[in-house]
Amino acid sequence: MKKIFAVALGILTAIGGFVDIGDLVTNALVGSRFGLSLAWVVVVGVIGIVVFSEMSGRVAAISGRATFDLVRERLGPRIGLANLLASMGVTFLTFIAEIGGVALAIEIATSVNEVLWVPVVAAALWIVLWRVRFSVLENVFGLVGLALVVFAVALWKLDPDWGALWAQVTSFSPGADNTWTQYCYYAVALFGAALTPYEVFFFSSGGVEEHWGEKDVGTMRLNVFLGFPLGGALSLAVAAVTAVVFLPAGVEVESLSQVPLPVAIALGKIGVAIALLGFFAATFGAACETGLSVGYSIAQFYGWSWGKFVAPRQAARFHAVILLSTLVAVAVLLTTVDPVAVTEYSVVFSALALPLTYLPILVIANDPDYMGERVNGRLANVLGSVYLVVILVVAVAAIPLMILTRGGQ
Amino acid sequence: MPGRDEPGFRRQYDAELHLLDRQIVDRDGRPVAKVDDIELAVRADGRLAVAALLCGPGALGPRTGGRPGRWTTAIWRRLRTEEDPQPGRIDAALVTGTDNAVHVSASADELRVDGLERWVRHYVVDRIPGAGHAD
Amino acid sequence: MTARALRPDRSRWRAAVLAAAAALTASACATPEGDPSLYRDEAVSTTKAAHSSVATVAIVLRTRLRDLTFGRAADDAVSTAETSLTSTAGTFEGLQPPRGADSVRRQATQLLSDAEDAVAAARIAVRRDDRAGMRAALVAVTRSADALDKAPETLP
Amino acid sequence: MRTDPAVTGGPGVRHRISELLGSRVRLPDGSCPGFVNEVRLAGGPGLQSYVVDGLVVGSRVQGSMLGYDRREVLGPRVLRAVVRLVNRDLSYAPWASVRRIDWDERVVEVERLGPLTDERAPR
């Protein structure tokens, strides 16, 4: 049991990257439109986030420096500020979406409009971020979020034509009803979501919160190697069940309320209840992850005291930022904006934030001044360099694709 | 001197690479500020010596440059009550050593370079129940 | 690679953002008036989107009738689909049809209003937990889904 | 080594290191080989005893080797090669060769430029 709790940070981090509200709907949409023909992107994304989280976690464990410290130290105040603004664009928009996502999950269970739940959810979230211990937060939401495994069980129970599914996986093409531009747009969106920068902000800062030292590098790696592939597998399971149920029916997923339907068909009410619990925990966990990441990044950029391991009054500006973001998020959501639509715009900010986040991690993970003997090995460097190039290509392609496809339509 | 050995001093510093933008940590290990700029003083022998670490928006703004930098500086001036506000200053003699952070021998409260932190603590955070409760 | 050397040319960057925003707005607002074939394309994509909503409702009704999901979850799924359908249909009905496209408009509008009626009936039955009503609605919804599915061929 | 205080301004005068970074470098023949990219400090013990040891000069206003100028920072090889290529024109102006710093015009007059050496290389 203790072993499970030891990897809760990795699981919670991965949930924010792979099955938060935006990803749940996007994965279901991709499954219903493209089948599993984009599954390879998730695999590529998982490897990428594993490579860079391992580096950022190792830097945190050896040097005690979290990721936004590195950004500022290697890029300086000017480009560092550009990255701060872009990363905040991604993280804060996602934070808003998650609060709306928790409200949506509750709406499905109660059929009371999500807008009415927003203030309640936000208040509960803020109390958790203010008062609940970091370890409790990651254990509860990380592990309860695993309820989403019900999608994998549903897939097995649906007993689809596995050969046909595998044919989709290996088709590497958009299929008859979609264009290549649309295919590329969703490939970029899935890749961007897998490597979304708040994962490394949260993971490395979480390592500092947990007082990782050199002896904890093994635990850190266990978190990385278990957490992210698990997150990727969950997102693939969501895409697979929608590919089985919705693709032949000609249904394109556009809202969270459609996502539990395949589980209902396969497993009935019990399955739906577990899926809704999973939605709630995953979106609430992702809200914690993004909310804290907003505070972590700003505090680390400006050198403020931060973290949940000190009393709030010892990290006053950090907690003020979290309080303020929660209030602004509520204000935005009360305009009745669609929370899922909010995440689509974050792709734009990823274009700038991704390269400017992963370059400094790669550089510092090679610097013996920080790392001593624990600098990157050859494999980490080869993969890191290759992924940096891929990230640059994706960053350049993201905005034109978004415009060409009108956001994937 | 990698890792978490006792912080000491390098033989040489490349100012931008080894000092600027590094975290300043107080004697209790608590983050205080970043090295936003470094003050040099002309010594009697004419050489430029490190006099102090400068921190806060008043030092960061000019270094950021461009419109974001000007805005940073302007907002900071507005929020200060003095006629000619100066950025936070930590005397170089207080620095006890460097590793991947810059360590100083005073506590954050004695350094008094984080006016906003104290303002937010006093007027916002301390008024919320549970502010003194650590993990 | 020397990040500090990257000095973005601010005016050019701003121009690019403005151009992108303009392109985005223009492409989002482009209405296919004038060309009858463009209008027909719009009708086809509208019926495709409507089919997605209606087929969702059919799945919800089937799962609810077999007691595989909760009343509230079914209600929420049907209501969300209905909102989406109404908005899709409203957007199409607001378009100005070009001359010579009136029959396309008449037929597509008919398909859409049939769909809206069937989905509304489904919502009423689900919310009342009226099983007979749900069965009746399922027949109408299925018929509407089939008609919408065939629209690319049947529209003039 | 004593320096005429006129080089840097009167004793006791304070400047920010950011005023030096990015300053234009001028040689006695009036040519401008580039800008101050980095300020190297040496001395001790105690940070207050460190003095400017020399200036790293590059052809762009700002530039950073990201640490790759040091021999022990190795990987990734591709990145190291790219950074070194971009910064291949870096040179070093030891303090003894600095004739005058004009803080207002942000110009540093330098006698001559030497090669940039690894800080840990034996001298």
ipTM of the prediction: 0.84
Nearest Cα residue in chain D from C7:
D62
With b for 16 or more beta-carbon neighbours within 10 A and e for fewer, the C108-131 pattern comes to bbebbebbbebbbbbbebbbeeee
Q: For residue A359, what pLDDT band results from cuts at 50, 70 and 90?
A: very high
The structure tokens listed for B129 are 């129940």
The structure tokens listed for A269 are 């009410």
Give Cα separations from B43 to A364, D8, D11, D45 (angstroms).
Answer: 35, 9, 5, 16
CA distance A57 to A79: 23
User: Own/partner pairs for C99-107, CB < 8 Å, 24+ apart?
Assistant: C99/C36, C100/C36, C101/C36, C101/C39, C101/C40, C103/C156, C104/C36, C104/C39, C104/C40, C104/C43, C104/C155, C104/C156, C105/C39, C105/C43, C107/C154, C107/C155, C107/C156
Residues from chain D that touch A63, judged by Cβ atoms under 8 A, are: none
Q: Is the per-residue pLDDT at D121 higher than 60?
A: no
How much is the average pLDDT of A363-375? 91
Lowest-confidence range among A199-213, C34-48, C70-84, D109-123? D109-123
Query: Is the CB of D73 less than 8 angstroms away from the CB of A385?
Result: no
A314, A319, A323: best mutation site toward chain B, by most B Cβ within 10 Å? A314
Give Cα separations from A157 to A27, A54, A148, A260, A268 (angstroms).
Answer: 20, 35, 15, 14, 11
Residues from chain A that touch B24, judged by Cβ atoms under 8 A, are: 303
Give Cα separations from D37 to D26, D60, D94, D114 (angstroms).
Answer: 14, 8, 14, 15
pLDDT (0 to 100) of residue A2? 64
CA distance A82 to C2: 15
pLDDT (0 to 100) of residue B2? 40
Residue whose token pair is 């102090």: B52
How much is the average pLDDT of A251-255? 92
CA distance B89 to B55: 6
pLDDT (0 to 100) of residue A376? 93
Interchain contact A206–B (C-beta under 8 A): no
Residues from chain D that touch C3, judged by Cβ atoms under 8 A, are: 64, 66
A369, A370, A375, A376: best mutation site toward chain B, by most B Cβ within 10 Å? A369
SS3 D54: strand
How much is the average pLDDT of C71-76? 94
Max CA distance (Å), chain D: 47
CA distance A251 to C81: 11
How much is the average pLDDT of B4-18? 82
CA distance A261 to B58: 56
- Tens digits of per-residue pLDDT, B51-93? 999 999 999 999 988 898 999 899 888 888 888 888 999 999 9
pLDDT (0 to 100) of residue C16? 63
Q: Which chains pack against D, by 3+ Cβ pairs within 8 A?
A: A, B, C
One-letter amino acid of D105: E
Among left, alpha and beta (phi > 0; psi -120 to 50; other), residue D2 is beta
Q: For residue C5, what pLDDT band results from cuts at 50, 70 and 90?
A: very low
SS3 A365: coil
Query: Is the CB of C5 less than 8 angstroms away from the CB of D63?
Result: yes
If we measure between CA atoms, which residue out of A172, A193, A221 comes closest to residue A35? A172
Interchain contact A131–B (C-beta under 8 A): yes
Q: Is the per-residue pLDDT at C9 higher than 50?
A: no
With the CA atoms of A171, A177, A179 and A183 taken in that order, what torsion angle do they form, in degrees rounded to the nearest 10? Answer: -50
Query: Is the CB of B131 less than 8 angstroms away from the CB of A313?
Result: yes
- Tens digits of per-residue pLDDT, A303-343? 999 998 888 988 999 999 999 999 999 999 999 888 888 88
Which residues neighbour D120 within 8 Å (Cβ) at sequence distance 6 or greater? B11, D70, D71, D72
- Tens digits of per-residue pLDDT, C21-44? 666 555 555 544 578 888 899 999
Higher pLDDT, B110 or C28: B110
Residue whose token pair is 């708040």: A198
CA distance C23 to A313: 48
- Tens digits of per-residue pLDDT, C98-134? 888 889 999 999 999 999 999 999 999 999 999 999 9
If we measure between CA atoms, which residue out of B40, B74, B64 comes closest to residue D103? B40
pLDDT (0 to 100) of residue D116? 81
How much is the average pLDDT of A264-275? 95
With the CA atoms of B43, B45, B48 and B54 taken in that order, what torsion angle do they form, in degrees rounded to the nearest 10? Answer: -10
Q: Is the per-residue pLDDT at D73 higher than 80?
A: no
Query: Is the CB of B4 less than 8 angstroms away from the CB of A130?
Result: no
Residues from chain A that touch C76, judged by Cβ atoms under 8 A, are: 107-108, 111, 257
Of A65, A299, A312, the CB nearest to B131: A312
Q: Is the per-residue pLDDT at D12 higher than 90?
A: no
- Tens digits of per-residue pLDDT, D96-110? 999 989 988 999 999
Q: Are A239 and A30 in contact (CB under 8 A)?
A: yes
CA distance A78 to A385: 24
Phi, psi of A332 (to 5 degrees): -65, -45
pLDDT (0 to 100) of residue D122? 36
pLDDT (0 to 100) of residue D83? 83
CA distance B128 to B118: 15
Q: Are A91 and A343 in contact (CB under 8 A)?
A: no
pLDDT (0 to 100) of residue A399? 85
Query: Is the CB of D86 less than 8 angstroms away from the CB of C5?
Result: yes
If we measure between CA atoms, which residue out of B73, B20, A313 comes closest to residue D22? B20
Q: List D16's β-bridge partners, or say none.
A: B39
CA distance C112 to D29: 82
A204, burial (CB in 10 Å: exposed 0-12, middle 13-18, buried 19+): buried
One-letter amino acid of C116: E
- Tens digits of per-residue pLDDT, A290-301? 999 999 999 999
How much is the average pLDDT of A78-90? 92
Q: For residue A177, what pLDDT band results from cuts at 50, 70 and 90?
A: confident
**For all residues of chain C together, what is the average pLDDT?**
84
Interchain contact D17–B (C-beta under 8 A): yes
How much is the average pLDDT of D33-51? 91
Q: Are A25 and A279 in contact (CB under 8 A)?
A: no
What single string gives the DSSP state of each residue in B75-127? HHHHH--SSS---EEEEGGGEEEESSEEEESS-HHHH---HHHHHHHHHTGGG
SS3 A170: coil
Query: Is the CB of D62 less than 8 angstroms away from the CB of C4?
Result: yes
Residues from chain A that touch B75, judged by Cβ atoms under 8 A, are: none
The structure tokens listed for C49 are 């989107």
Q: Which chains pack against A, by 3+ Cβ pairs within 8 A?
A: B, C, D
Q: Are A24 and A238 in contact (CB under 8 A)?
A: yes
For residue B135, give how far its alpha carbon lies from the nearest alpha carbon of chain D (Å): 36
How much is the average pLDDT of A217-244? 95
Of D3, D38, D65, the CB nearest to B46: D3
Q: Is the per-residue pLDDT at D64 higher than 80?
A: no
For residue D33, give how far its alpha carbon lies from the nearest alpha carbon of chain A (Å): 24
Task: State percent of chain A over pLDDT 70.
Answer: 99
Please report how the helices A261-302 and A198-209 are oriented relative to each other, as an axis angle in degrees rounded to 10. 70
pLDDT (0 to 100) of residue D120? 43
CA distance A295 to A310: 14
Nearest Cα residue in chain A from D80:
A363
Residues from chain C that touch D61, judged by Cβ atoms under 8 A, are: 5, 7
Residue whose token pair is 């089985």: A244
Among left, alpha and beta (phi > 0; psi -120 to 50; other), residue B13 is beta
Query: Is the CB of A62 less than 8 angstroms away from the CB of B3?
Result: yes
Residues from chain D that touch A367, judged by Cβ atoms under 8 A, are: 67, 73
How much is the average pLDDT of B101-115? 88
A-B contacts at Cβ under 8 angstroms:
116
How much is the average pLDDT of A212-222? 93
- Tens digits of per-residue pLDDT, A116-145? 999 999 999 999 999 898 989 989 998 999
Q: For residue A253, what pLDDT band results from cuts at 50, 70 and 90?
A: very high
With b for 16 or more beta-carbon neighbours within 10 A and e for fewer, the B51-83 pattern comes to bbbbbbbbbbbbbbbeeebeebbeebeeeeeee
pLDDT (0 to 100) of residue B129? 87
The structure tokens listed for A361 are 């991690």
Q: Which chains pack against C, by 3+ Cβ pairs within 8 A?
A: A, D
Higher pLDDT, C139 or D115: C139
SS3 C149: helix
Q: Is the per-residue pLDDT at A347 higher than 90?
A: no
Helix residue ranges per DSSP H, A303-345: 316-333, 339-344
pLDDT (0 to 100) of residue D6? 55
Q: Is the per-residue pLDDT at B22 higher than 90?
A: yes
Q: Which chains pack against B, by 3+ Cβ pairs within 8 A?
A: A, D
> Model-level pTM greater than 0.80?
yes
How much is the average pLDDT of D79-84? 84
Q: Is the per-residue pLDDT at D71 higher than 70?
A: no
Query: Is the CB of B47 less than 8 angstroms away from the CB of D51?
Result: yes
Lowest-confidence range among A63-67, A161-165, A177-181? A177-181
pLDDT (0 to 100) of residue C4? 41
CA distance A273 to A147: 10
Nearest Cα residue in chain C from D68:
C2
Query: Is the CB of A403 less than 8 angstroms away from the CB of C23?
Result: yes
CA distance A216 to D90: 40
pLDDT (0 to 100) of residue C8? 41
Query: Is the CB of D62 less than 8 angstroms away from the CB of C7?
Result: yes
CA distance D88 to D63: 11
Query: Is the CB of A303 less than 8 angstroms away from the CB of B24?
Result: yes
Residue whose token pair is 């004793």: D11
CA distance C83 to B63: 52
CA distance A273 to C1: 50
Query: Is the CB of B133 less than 8 angstroms away from the CB of A312?
Result: yes
Interchain contact A217–B (C-beta under 8 A): no
Q: Is the per-residue pLDDT at A262 higher than 90?
A: yes
